[in-house]
Amino acid sequence: MSTLLAADTRQPGQADFLPLYGTDYVEFYVGNAKQAAHYYKSAFGFQSLAYAGPETGVKDRVSYVVRQNKLTFVFTTALRTGHPVADHVYLHGDGVKVLALRVDDAAAAWHETTKRGGKSYMEPARLTDKYGEVGLSGIYTYGETVHLFVERDQYAGAFLPGFREWKTGYNPPSTGLRYVDHAVGNVGWNQMNPWVKFYEEVMGFRNILSFDDSDISTEYSALMSKVMSNGNGYVKFPINEPAEGKKKSQVEEYLEFYNGEGVQHVALATDDIVRTVTQLRDRGVEFLQVPPSYYKDLISRVGAIEEDISPLAELGILVDRDDEGYLLQIFSKPVEDRPTLFFEIIQRKGAKSFGKGNFKALFEAIEREQSARGNL
C-alpha cells in the first residue's frame, strides 16, 4: 500500500509561522476578462462584485471580480500588447495566476516566507481608500503562479482599493458553490519533491497524503501526487508530477499546452452536489463521464450512502470513502480551448481525502478525452 498519511513532524506547541484563514480569491489572467466574467456568472452562478480599469484609474488592464458565497474569482486582461498579463496569456493561455490567501498580517507573512527562501513577487504594501485599508504581499510558487497574502480585517469595500462596485441587471442564480476545497498544481518531471519541500520549509505546510504511480496509473497514463496542507487544514495544495507510462501522461499534456507548470484544477465545495451539478450541466458546463458499470457495484465498494444512486449515475458523480466518511466528486472538462485548467466539484461527508478510489475510472475518462485530442 503506497498511500500513507504522514505524521505531523512539528514539535508540540510549535507555533504556525504562517497562519492562513483560507483562500481569499483566485485570479485568472485571460484573453477577454469581460467575456470570462460573463461565462462564470452564466455557467457557474457567480454574481458581479467589483471592477477595475481605465474608468477607475487603472490604465493598463481591466479586472472583473465575481463572487459566490466564499468564492471570489478575478478575471484580468491587459489592454495593450507587451504587458506582463498579455505575455502570460500568450505563453500559457487563460490560466490561474494568483492563489490569494487570507492572513492577519501580510507584512509578517512576506517576511516569514522570504526569509525561508520564498522568492518575492510583491513586497508588503498598504492600499487604502474610503472603505479602509488592505495589506498585500506575495511570493512565487511553481511556474509563474503566485501566492498573494491578503490582510483585509480593516476593509469594508467591495473587493480591494482601486476597484469599484460592479452592479448589473444580469444576475443568474447561484449554483450552490461555496468555497475552494483545494487547488492542484502540475509540476515537471522530478519537481514534485522540491515543491513539497517549498511548501514545508517556506510556508510551514505538511505532506498529509502521498500517491505514487501504483495508485494512479491506468494502461497509459500515470502520475504521482503529494497533498500539502497548512497547519489548520484550511488550505490544501496537492502537487502532481508525471510518471512513466505507456503513453503521454495527462500531466505532460498539461505542461506542454500550458508551456510549463501551473494550476491544474481548483476544487469547489458544495453542500448539495446533485443540485449543483444539475444546474451547472443545464447551464452548459461539460463534465467527464464514467461508464455506467462504475455504478453497478458502487455500494459494495463504498458502503451505504445517503444519496440515491440513479441521479449520481445520471450526472456521472463519483463516490469514494475513507476512514472518516465519504465524498462525492465530479470533474469538468477543461474550461478553455487548451487542455489545461479544469474544475472539480466536491461534497464532503466526513471524508478528508481526495477520491483515490476514483482515480482509475477518472483517468480512463481523461484518456478518452486526450485520445480524442490526439494527445495520447
Kindly state the smallest distance separating residue 360's Cβ from Fe ion, in Å: 15
Question: 66, 72 in Cβ contact below 8 A?
Answer: yes
CA contacts within 13 A on the Cβ side of 316: 18
User: Cα separation of 305 and 301, whole Å?
Assistant: 11
Complex with Fe ion: residue 151 or 322, whichever CB lies closer: 322
Subset of residues 343 to 372 that bind Fe ion, contact rule: CB under 5 A: 344
- Does residue 181 belong to the site contacting Fe ion (CB under 5 A)? no
User: Cα separation of 139 and 270, whole Å?
Assistant: 30
Kindly state the smallest distance separating residue 320's Cβ from Fe ion, in Å: 11
User: Cα separation of 291 and 284, whole Å?
Assistant: 21
Kindly state the smallest distance separating residue 81's Cβ from Fe ion, in Å: 35
Binding mask 326-345 for Fe ion (x = CB under 5 A): ------------------x-
Total of chain residues touching Fe ion, rule CB under 5 A: 2
List the beta bridge partners of residue 321. 326
Complex with Fe ion: residue 50 or 327, whichever CB lies closer: 327
Question: 137, 163 in Cβ contact below 8 A?
Answer: no
List, as one string, the DSSP characters of 57-89: T--SEEEEEEEETTEEEEEEEESSTTSHHHHHH
Question: What is the identity of the amino acid at 334?
Answer: P
Kindly state the smallest distance separating residue 181's Cβ from Fe ion, in Å: 8
End-to-end CA distance of the chain: 28
Kindly state the smallest distance separating residue 243's Cβ from Fe ion, in Å: 17
Q: Where are the alpha helices (DSSP H) in the chain?
A: 33-44, 84-92, 106-115, 192-201, 250-258, 273-282, 298-302, 309-315, 359-372
Complex with Fe ion: residue 136 or 187, whichever CB lies closer: 187
| 10, three cell numbers | 512539528
Complex with Fe ion: residue 267 or 319, whichever CB lies closer: 267
Kindly state the smallest distance separating residue 152's Cβ from Fe ion, in Å: 27
Kindly state the smallest distance separating residue 239's Cβ from Fe ion, in Å: 12
Complex with Fe ion: residue 72 or 353, whichever CB lies closer: 353
Number of other residues whose CB lies within 10 A of the CB of residue 74: 27
Complex with Fe ion: residue 30 or 180, whichever CB lies closer: 180
Subset of residues 210 to 269 that bind Fe ion, contact rule: CB under 5 A: 267
Complex with Fe ion: residue 139 or 267, whichever CB lies closer: 267
Subset of residues 267 to 296 that bind Fe ion, contact rule: CB under 5 A: 267
Q: Which residues bind Fe ion (CB under 5 A)?
A: 267, 344
